[in-house]
């Protein structure tokens, strides 16, 4: 039986507040820390989240900080926090490009970075083609990330990731800062079936666990470039 997954968007970071996408791997803002407190309260009160056996985080500072401030109570119970580059944000802008793993390991010793793709934080070289900012690469990365979760032995998994990746490649629903949605995997009839999710009514009807997100679904892959926008002279897009 594949796990139930709780998909969380990080709290507000500096690039969200300042609209400055040139900031490299930005930290949470003071408001972001306050949002984490609200998120933490909601997650603590959710019986399903209390059963979580694994926390997966995008290895960017804002997602790691959000996890450590909202599900710290799970960490204290012994639940592992595992960084996975597959859950990083779509674009190659500085704000969506991570820091060196060695630096992150020193700053966040409670997070397991041992399985992070060695190519991280590179998103532009031929070796990092699976992280390129193209529709094909992003949708394939989402399927690979979902496949890994589908095959995990844990029954409930928390994933802290990013707005555009979650919305445009994973679940086709909106996520505002520090909001979350709960999903089960849709049935698969054969190995060729794509991995897809079915949202719990509890978070679908009110627009996320905190009710902060838009309710209407979108089309997976919409807004994503078919080719690398840098190659077309339009490197400012973030796929948001």
Residues marked active site are found at: 10, 89
DSSP code, position 165? H
Tokens encoding 230: 């840098």
32 neighbors 18 (Cβ within 8 angstroms): no
Burial class (CB in 10 A: 0-12, 13-18, 19+), 142: buried
Quote the CA–CA distance of 132 and 60 in Å, as a whole number.
Answer: 17
In order, the DSSP letters of 54-94 are: EEEE-SSHHHHHHHHHHSHHHHHTT-EEEE-GGGS-S--SG
61-70 and 30-44 are packed helices; what angle lies between their axes, rounded to 10 degrees?
50
- Stated as kind and residue range, the H or E segment containing 183 is strand 180-185
DSSP 210: T
């Amino acid at each position: 039986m594949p796990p139930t997954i709780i998909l969380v968007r990080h709290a507000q970071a500096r690039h969200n507040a300042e609209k400055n996408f040139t900031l490299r791997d930005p930290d949470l803002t003071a408001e972001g820390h306050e949002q984490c407190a609200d998120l933490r309260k909601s997650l603590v009160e959710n019986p399903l989240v209390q059963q979580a056996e694994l926390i997966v985080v995008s290895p960017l500072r804002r997602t790691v900080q959000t996890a450590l401030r909202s599900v710290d109570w799970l960490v204290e119970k012994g639940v592992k926090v595992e960084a996975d580059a597959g859950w990083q944000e779509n674009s190659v802008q500085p704000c969506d490009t991570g820091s060196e793993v060695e630096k992150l390991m020193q700053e966040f010793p409670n997070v397991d970075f041992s399985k992070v793709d060695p190519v991280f934080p590179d998103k532009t070289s031929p070796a990092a083609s699976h992280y390129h900012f193209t529709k094909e690469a992003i949708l394939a990365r989402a399927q690979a990330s979902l496949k890994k979760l589908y095959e995990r032995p844990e029954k409930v998994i928390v994933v802290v990731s990013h707005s555009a990746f979650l919305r445009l490649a994973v679940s086709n629903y909106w996520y505002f800062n520090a909001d979350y949605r709960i999903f089960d995997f849709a049935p698969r009839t054969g190995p060729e079936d794509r991995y897809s999710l079915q949202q719990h009514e509890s978070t679908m009807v009110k627009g996320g666990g905190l009710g902060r997100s838009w309710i209407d679904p979108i089309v997976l892959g919409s807004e994503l470039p078919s080719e690398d926008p840098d190659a077309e002279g339009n490197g400012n897009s973030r796929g948001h």
